Structure 1
Amino acid sequence: MTAPASGPSATGAPVTVTPVRGRADTTAFVRLPYAVYRDDPLWVAPLERERRAFLDPGRNPFFEVGTVQLFLARRGRRVVGRIAAVVDPRHHERHDPRCGQFGLFECVDEPAVAAALFEAAADWLGERGLSRMLGPLNFSLNDECGLLVDGYDRPPTMLMPHNPPYYPRLFEDCGFTKAKDLLSWRIPMPADGEPPARFRRAAQRALAAPGVRVRALDPDRFDADMAVVKDIYNDAWSENYAATPMTDREFAHAVREFRPILKPELVQIAEVHGEPAGFLLCLPDANQALRAARGRLTRYGLPIGLIRIARATRRIQRTRALACGIKREHRNWGLAAAMFAQAQRAAFRLGHTETEFSWVLEDNRHVNSYTKAAGGILFRTHRLYERTTQRGAPHEVKPMTYTA
């Protein structure tokens, strides 16, 4: 068992980091962000019920394949930080058997608190034979990931992290260096809902090819179409940086989470000679509704949060392109363009005014150029960091690149 980590804080009072044990600690872990973001008008409070379910091994299927240890940092009785250390065997098999992950980091602006948290996670990972740590990942690349390092002027889109501007300094002061940047693009809706001419021509050429068809998700065969999305996702992302395949239960769990806001017109599936070839999954930005609930569905026994969400849902203006994948044998710019053109026209009919493409790996030149050609404006950057798990050891970066 990892011994409690401690160190002096900026005030001179001791900082102690201990593993999360029991319901009271879990509640403190879930509620810490409310203190960290108290004065941040852009923060979108997650639903507390959803966060508890995410941390529950009985309800989050990630725990069927991975192992997680949560830690809390306290100064006296006050909780001042938190972190999760993560072991995912799928990452070891596909990428680096020496690498563990960390995530769910939140901390007051005190280097000593951050250092104690990172050392606790590093020690726990090191005890399991891991010499490198990568993050933040909550808990894998299939969930929220990355630290916001540029673009603090807008509220976060659904499933995209948001953090105070001082977090990158805490990471870098504790020995972390950049592993990879994740880019976010926003595409304002054209007045006529049509993509730029060059992009539109590429889409038209793809649709004119023999056997090519792009269609919206069919609600009458929802399960079959989502199975297609899962299979293509795991295939298309199999060699991407730090990516791990989703199990059937993980994917089914994710679908249950986003199905209430899913619009079939915003999910496009490409077929070649009747066989699935690619998909584009766009969702209305639920964060625009969640901000109204302020993290709680009920207050004082009344469904105030539910009422606020219901009203705000009707005013959602932004969609997020959550995932896109094309099978290796069908990869070309035109097929992706055709799916996006169809999705953008549908978003226009639904009254949305902007689409966000997030996130895209910085060295994925193909998708970044394609997004720019669609009218995209680069507006936000998240970063994955890495360091060794050994205290005081020199940092060694293992190069990892995007595979198209």
Structure 2
Amino acid sequence: MSKIEVSEVSSRRDRDAFIEFPWRIYVNDPAWVPPLIIERKAFLNRKRHPFYLHGDAALFLARSGSRRSEIVGRIMASDDPNYNSLHQTNVGCFGLFECMNDHQVAAALFDAAADWLRKKGRTEIMGPIDYSTNYVCGLLVDGFQFPPTILTAHNPPYYRDLIEGCGFAKIKDWYAWWFDDPAKAVTHLRRLATRFNTRCPAVIRPANLNNIRDESRRLREIYNQAWKKNWGFVPFTEAEIEFMTEELKPLLVPEFAWVAEVDDEPAGFILAVPDINVALRHINGRLTTFGLPIGLLKLLYHKSRTRTARLIALGVIEKYRRTGIAEMLVLRIVEDRVSEY
């Protein structure tokens, strides 16, 4: 490949090119789910996304060709002071990495991200992480044939070689599990829940979606306590949880959100959402075509027929663990609605 030039995104035109580049990478990937372009614009909007209230990020595009007109890769570098303060580290992150199968391009992108982070005073870089572990993160290394569920990563198999070839090494394994026969688990979960309930008389109530603002604040308190010892944890800020609540609000189903309380004290929660990716596959990232809401109509049509869901959060505050609360929470979702999705 000819000489590579990497530049920071500084215009709306470049931002749009950054967002649209994955369509070139995944043109022949039947498992890929095109992201909703309007959502990607909001995610990268420095004036709207709450990450920028405490952190910073920069987007980069790699170009090639005689006039440096051909986009061949992209990357985001992000700096989260909250993470470094909590973990006493000096690390920055890379994310939103997409690249042609070319080591030269990948190396140029990582050099640009590292240089930007170095100017922030950071001495290490890890990823793929889109801002923080509270968002999409991780590199897919197995299961490429499966379409990604909502808020999970997907990438070509060759990304691992590109990233490791640029000096990165694996730091953590993450797994996604399929719960393909929930009915089979109901009897077992009921038995466990009954036994544990005598030890810890927890109240399992539906999340109050009619007052979602206050409820999301309670869930944030549980999350920030229950997840604090997890690898890569960084607490949600109040602004971040409000932003994510608004993003997920159209997907929330009452039967998929439950809160556990012991003596009126929050103890844990579970949250699942219908897998909207099943519907997104049919609209190619756009809600409108030629001014007509064709994509929106397709989205609503396929959303109503979605029969899969993703469990995106299950957490119990440490002092209430091994009391059966997690089993009780899972049982509520399995019994009530999972079989319908």
| Same fold flag (TM > 0.5) | yes
Q: Say whether the 8 Å CA contact 2:96–2:129 is kept in structure 1.
A: yes
1:23 corresponds to which of 12, 23, 43: 12
TM-score by length of 2: 0.96
**Are the aligned partners of 1:206 and 1:212 in contact in 2 as well (CA < 8 Å)?**
no
Give the Cα–Cα distance (whole angstroms) in 2 for the partners of residues 96 and 248 of structure 1. Answer: 22
Confirm or deny: 8 A CA contact 2:186 2:335 kept in the other structure: no
- Looking at structure 1, the residues matched to 241 and 251 of structure 2 have their Cα atoms a distance apart, in angstroms, of 16
For the aligned residues, what is the CA RMSD?
1.4
State the match for 2:107 in structure 1: 115
Assess if the C-alpha contact under 8 Å between 1:262 and 1:283 holds in 2. yes
Quick check: which one's strand share is greater? 1
Shift of 1:270: 0.7
In structure 1, distance between residues paired with 2:323 and 2:238: 29
Q: CA deviation at 1:216?
A: 1.7
The counterpart of 1:44, out of the listed 23, 26, 33, is: 33
The structure-2 alpha-carbon separation of the partners of 1:24 and 1:129, relative to structure 1 and needing over 3 Å to count, comes to same
Output the CA distance in 1 between the equivalents of 2:208 and 2:196: 21
User: Following TM superposition, by how much is the alpha carbon of 1:220 offset from its aligned partner in structure 2, in angstroms?
Assistant: 3.7
Q: Residue 276 of structure 1: CA displacement? A: 1.2
TM-score relative to the length of structure 1: 0.81
1:200 is aligned, of 171, 190, 207, to 190
Contact 2:216 2:241 in 1 (8 A): no
Question: How far did 1:310 drift?
Answer: 0.7
How many residues align? The count is 338
Greater relative contact order: 1 or 2 (C-alpha under 8 angstroms, separation 6 or more)? 1
1:59 aligns with 2:36: no
The residue aligned with 1:154 is 146
- What do the CA deviations read for 1:229-261 (whole angstroms, capped 9, x no partner)? 111001111222111111111101101111111
Could you tell me which amino acid in structure 1 is paired with residue 160 of structure 2? Answer: P
Residue in structure 2 matched with residue 368 of structure 1 by the alignment: none
Matches of 1:29 and 1:254, distance apart in 2: 22
- How far does residue 105 in structure 1 lie from its aligned partner after superposition? 0.4
Output the CA distance in 1 between the equivalents of 2:43 and 2:120: 24
Distance in 2, matches of 1:327 and 1:282, equals 18
The aligned residue for residue 21 of structure 2 is 32
2:64 is the alignment partner of 1:72: no
Q: CA shift at 1:127, angstroms?
A: 2.2
Q: Partner of 2:177: helix, strand, or coil?
A: strand
State the alpha-carbon separation in 2 of the partners of residues 72 and 346 from structure 1: 46
Q: Is the 8 A contact 1:36 1:107 kept in 2?
A: yes
Identify the residue that residue 90 of structure 1 maps to in structure 2. Answer: 82
Aligned to 2:243: 253
Conservation of the 8 A alpha-carbon contact between 2:77 and 2:116: yes
Match of 1:231 in 2: 221
Where does structure 2 lack aligned partners over 5 or more consecutive residues? none
1:293 is paired with a residue of what secondary structure? coil
CA distance in 2, matches of 1:219, 1:107: 40
Query: Structure 2: how far apart are the matches of 1:44 and 1:59?
Result: 24
CA positional deviation for 1:194: 5.3
Query: Per-residue deviation at 1:348?
Result: 3.6
In the alignment, which residue of structure 2 is the partner of 1:185? 177
- Shift of the alpha carbon at 1:209? 3.6
Segment of structure 1 superposing worse, 19-28 or 195-204: 195-204
Q: Distance in 2 between matches of 1:140 and 1:152?
A: 23
Q: Is contact 1:194–1:345 with CA below 8 Å preserved after alignment?
A: no
Return the offset for 1:345. 1.2
CA offset digits 1:166-208 (Å, max 9, x no partner):
1001011111100111110011134xx3525443322222333
CA distance in 1, matches of 2:251, 2:88: 36
Q: Does 1:106 align with 2:98?
A: yes
For residues 328 and 14 of structure 1, what CA distance do their matches in structure 2 show? 53
Confirm or deny that 1:320 pairs with 2:310: yes
Partner in structure 2 of residue 262 of structure 1: 252
**1:331-381: per-residue Cα shift (whole Å, max 9, x none)?**
1151101100111112246x11xxxxxxxxxxxxxxxxxxxxxxxxxxxxx
Percent of residue pairs identical: 41
* Alpha-carbon distance in 1 for matches of 2:235, 2:278: 29
Provide the rounded CA distance (Å) in 2 between the counterparts of 1:47 and 1:248.
Answer: 25
**Matched residue SS, 1:203:** helix
Instruction: Check conservation: 2:258, 2:271, Cα contact below 8 A.
Output: yes
